[in-house]
Amino acid sequence: MITLKGLIIREAPKGESNKLIHVLTAERGVISVYVRGGMKSTKNAAATQLYVYSKFCLEKTVDPKGPIFYYLNSSEPEEMFYELRLDVVKMSLAAYLADLIYYARIEGVSDMTEVLRLTLNTFYFLNRGQKDPEFLKSVFEFRLLCDIGFRPDLLCCPKCYKYLSDKMYLNMAEGYIECEDCCTDKDGMYVYELDRSLLHVIRHIALTDLERLFAVKISAKLQLKLTNLTEGYIRYHFRESFDTLKFYRSIT
Ligand SMILES: [Zn+2]
């Protein structure tokens, strides 16, 4: 028997009364858990709902021909994120963030400690409703990519070592920033212009401790630039268009 804590990021019915849940855990990445009787009211109903963080007791079954599966033995909710279910904007953003995590798993990341912490923090603020969902979305998009191995080098221009100038350029393909004098590909599809405040905020998102990650305020104008950049960074690395993002955009 294995005991794990994790956040449920996806669920699907299996047969008439069972369901399969996908759970983000620190130690084992995203795992698939089979819940017997999961579509009916059972003792595990609360702890196996979508977007609930729970403690699970699991049995591991390895099918030599297939992927590793877990069977749920018992579960207990730790954090329900109850308010997410009462608001369509919060709910649709949570669905998009869960999609990003599910997609990131396909890239073969197994240690998801930082990703789980980031997700729980983001869900905490989204649930409470005290931060702009657009800001939470941008922070999550950029930091998620940083945490799974795509943190760009934001320290200085690699050619002349300039740390700051009025205009710098993030080259998403190369994973570095260049100054105005050194950048030769300013109109490139994945080259984004950074003014001082945009560079400051992406340095903050990429490099600050999680405890202080959400403790900044940015203007609506800067948020628009940040949204454009973080969505572009997701597009560049995931090469995927997410229906959940389209739905979120259709209501915001
Ligand atoms: Zn330079």
Q: What is the Å distance from ligand 1's center to 191 Cα?
A: 15
Distance 158 CA to ligand 1 centre (A): 7
- What is the model's pLDDT at position 68? 77
DSSP letter, residue 87: -
Q: Which residues of the chain have pLDDT under 50?
A: none
Q: Using CA atoms, how far apart are residues 201 and 139, in angstroms rounded to an integer?
A: 9
- pLDDT, residue 66, reads 76
76 and 148: one domain? no
Dihedral pair phi/psi, residue 17, rounded to 5° = -130, 0
Give the residue numbers spanning the domain of 136: 84-251
Q: Which two tokens stand for residue 120?
A: 């729980």
Q: Is 227 helix (H, G, I), strand (E, B) or coil?
A: helix
pLDDT score of 41: 62
- Do residues 138 and 123 share a domain? yes
Q: If you measure from the C-alpha of residue 171 to the centroid of ligand 1, how many angstroms do you get, rounded to a whole number?
A: 13
Alpha helices in the chain (DSSP H): 88-106, 113-128, 133-145, 196-207, 210-213, 220-238, 243-251
CA of 180 to the centre of ligand 1 (A): 7
Asked which of 80, 114, 134 is the last residue of a domain, the reply is 80
What CATH number has the domain bearing residue 64?
2.40.50.140
**Do 187 and 201 fall within a single domain?**
yes
Quote the ligand 1 centre to 185 CA distance (angstroms). 13
pLDDT recorded at residue 88: 96
Distance CA 85, CA 51 (A): 9
- Report the Cα 63 to chain-centroid distance in Å: 30
Q: How far apart are CA 232 and CA 166, in angstroms?
A: 21
Same domain, 54 and 175: no
Same domain flag for 119 and 74: no
Instruction: Report pLDDT digits (tens) over 207-216.
Output: 999 999 999 9
According to the model, what pLDDT value does residue 45 have?
Answer: 86
Whole-number Å distance, alpha carbon 170 to ligand 1 midpoint, is 12
Give the pair of three-digit tokens for residue 205.
Answer: 């998102």
Same domain (yes/no): 37, 120: no
